[in-house]
Amino acid sequence: MDRNTIIGFVLMFGLLMGYNWYTAPTEEEIAEMERLEAEANADAEKENDEVSDNPQTGDKQADFIEEEEDYNGVSLDNLGFDSLGLINIPHEIRKQYGPLALAVFGDDKEHYLKSSVLEIKLSSRGGLPFSATLIDGNTRNVIYSEGDPIELWDPERSSMDLHFDVPGTGRIKLSDLSFLLTSETDSTIYFRAITESGGAIEIVHTLEGYELDTRITFRNLGREVLPEQHLVWSATGLRNEKGLEWERQHTSIFFKEKDRGRDYLSEGRSDEETLEYNLEWMAFKQDFFSVLVSKDGGFEKGAVLINELFEEDTTSTLFFSADLPMIAETRGSTMEHELSFYFGPNDLELLNNTGLSEVGKIIDYGWWIFGWVNRNFILPIYHFLNSRLASAGLIILIITLIIKMFLFPITWKNFLSSAKMKMLRPDIEKINEEHKDDSTARQQATMELYRKTGVNPMAGCLPALLQMPILYAMFRFFPANIDLRGKSFLWADDLAAYDSIVDLPFTIPMYGSHISGFTVLMAISIFFYMRMTTAGQPPQSSQPGMPNMKVIQNFIPFTMLFFFNKFASGLSLYYLAANLVSIGQMLIIKRYFIDEDKILAQIDANVKNPKKKSAFQERLAEMQKEQVKKTKEIKASKKRRKKK
């Protein structure tokens, strides 16, 4: 052996030792490998125990071993090896997928995770969920799919994927790769895709109730895969409710950015937004159900969220799309994502159990004080009654009585003010007749009458304003409360949807193709209630350009027929019950609590001993007198010009 040969062997040996030193794992990597080996041994022991008890399991393991040696129906032996000892993968595949080319091969299979309330389907192609079905008793309420379980999105028109970049190769998706099932339990499933270099992508899903925790790990691929990645999720929401238009009006993408409040895209129509802040969580909301994703540490800036409405498609609500940038957490030779999903109903307690900030505001109980009243008062009362009563309609009636009793002092003040105004009706009619051609003098005389009698015409307005938060809170509460979904009462088969006593063979614009019984009764009750409240009021003098209030009062109940016909029947039932209780309160108060003779005596006493005008009232009176004087001068000037 000559000197050159010896030098060559020494150099080759040196290069080999240097390569081994350079690629040797660190202490952290060794500890991680030991942990994984311990877990694998534990899983193997468990699987061996299962095999000994169940021969079918042994067959499945044999099939798995056979599958592990088979990629996309092509055996590794059939692929053969090249001169370097590498698997002979077709050039086009290796060029497109680079170091991950081996993971492309494999059979597409479906796998399942199931809890007591949720069933998730996962594909071996990508290893992520492609279907989520509720098995908690919630069913679809549409004619062509009545009683079927709720599918949270259409699996045929939806996808969930992870996009990442491989230097020198380009962008690759998880759905390009085939994952092998390594082990599974009742609540957990393990997937793994391997590469020629010995690296791997591992996915672990753990399901508990409505929540799915997903860990995606890139092992020994730090030089081949960049940590800047994207979760790309698109979903077509399936129609689940009787009223498609109503369901779409409560469907959108909800999200929360870091250090900012809960926000959402426009409901029921196409919209999109590129976020300028880090994202804490994002949800595709469909009226009573949502699918939600969050990430440990949050998503990066620049998330793109899109709603798309296809009005001609009556089987779906909206098409959702989200592109969520994120950075994998690097630990030694591993990169990892921790994702958390929620697939389930919009129940305040269940949503809050996720621990995410403001996630309960996916349910639209109203903004500011209205939502606060619903969450802190109305909802606890409903839950208390719901745990003791089986009828949701009866619960609505009881809540109506509780609210009306709470508001009774305000109602009493309102009726008392109306009674005082009724006593002044003859005097106001006289003033209107005396000053029918002079609106300023008429207004001045009317205000002077109010001052002398001690009657405040605005006294009934304040009580009415104080009731508004409760009234609007109820307007938001009943349509948003999932506990009413599917609950029947009288002729209404679903208090969370419209009721129908007559289905029309045609569609009336802005009204619909049905007649809501509770809405008709509510409109009738509004008509009689308004007639009773205005029966004793002084007549309003007509002024040029001012609307006729009597016509408006008669028109309002008619507009309610159109406005509420497609609303949740539970809301119409509440307003009907509230109007009937108000009418009953009015009759009782007028008969047993309002003494008109006593009120008239008090007014007479005020006239005999009028209150002294305040400085403001005196200035106001002077201004009115000056205005009357100027009005007379203008009219006199006009008459003189006409004579000339």
What pLDDT score does 87 carry?
66
Say what the pTM is. 0.74
Amino acid at position 562, single letter = F
Greater confidence, 1 or 318? Answer: 318
Give the C-alpha distances (Å, rounded to integers) separating 200 from 79, 104, 221, 333. Answer: 21, 12, 7, 11
HSE-up of residue 456 (Cα within 13 Å, Cβ side): 11
Is 293 in contact with 231 (CB distance < 8 Å)? yes
Lowest mean pLDDT among 138-147, 184-193, 385-394, 520-529: 138-147
The three-class DSSP label of residue 521 is helix
DSSP for 386-413, written as a single string: HTT-S-HHHHHHHHHHHHHHHTHHHHHH
From CA 632, how far away is CA 643, in angstroms rounded?
17
- Report, in this order, helix, strand and coil percent for the chain, each rounded to 5: 45, 25, 30
Query: Number of H helices and number of E strands within the chain?
Result: 19, 23
Amino acid at position 104, single letter = V
**Which residue is associated with the tokens 């008793």?**
137
Q: What's 480-532 look like in SS3?
A: HCHHHCCCCECCECCCCCCCCCEEEEEEECCCEEEECHHHHHHHHHHHHHHHH
From CA 113, how far away is CA 187, in angstroms rounded?
6
Helices 517-534 and 569-588 meet at what angle, rounded to 10? 30
Q: Tell me the per-residue pLDDT of 398-421, one tens digit each, with 9 for 90 and over.
A: 999 998 888 888 777 777 777 777
What pLDDT score does 73 carry?
42
What pLDDT score does 550 carry?
65
Confidence of residue 95 (pLDDT cuts 50, 70, 90): confident
Q: In whole angstroms, what separates CA 542 from the centre of its chain?
A: 47
Confidence of residue 339 (pLDDT cuts 50, 70, 90): very high
In total, the chain counts a number of residues equal to 644
What pLDDT score does 335 carry?
93
Does residue 85 register a pLDDT over 80? no
> For 233-253, what is the mean pLDDT?
92
> For 386-392, what is the mean pLDDT?
90
Percent of the chain with pLDDT strictly greater than 70? 72
Confidence of residue 348 (pLDDT cuts 50, 70, 90): very high
Strongest mean pLDDT among 14-18, 117-121, 478-482, 485-489: 117-121
What pLDDT score does 57 carry?
33
What pLDDT score does 570 carry?
92
What pLDDT score does 123 carry?
94
What pLDDT score does 66 carry?
40
Greater confidence, 430 or 108? Answer: 108
What pLDDT score does 231 carry?
96
Lowest mean pLDDT among 212-221, 533-542, 617-626: 533-542
From CA 73, how far away is CA 70, in angstroms rounded?
6
What pLDDT score does 281 carry?
96
Percent of the chain with pLDDT strictly greater than 90? 43
What tokens appear for 509 in the block? 């614009």
Dihedrals phi, psi of 74, to nearest 5 degrees: -110, 120
Confidence of residue 644 (pLDDT cuts 50, 70, 90): low
Average pLDDT, the chain: 81
**Which residue is associated with the tokens 């899983």?**
43
From CA 271, how far away is CA 75, in angstroms rounded?
48
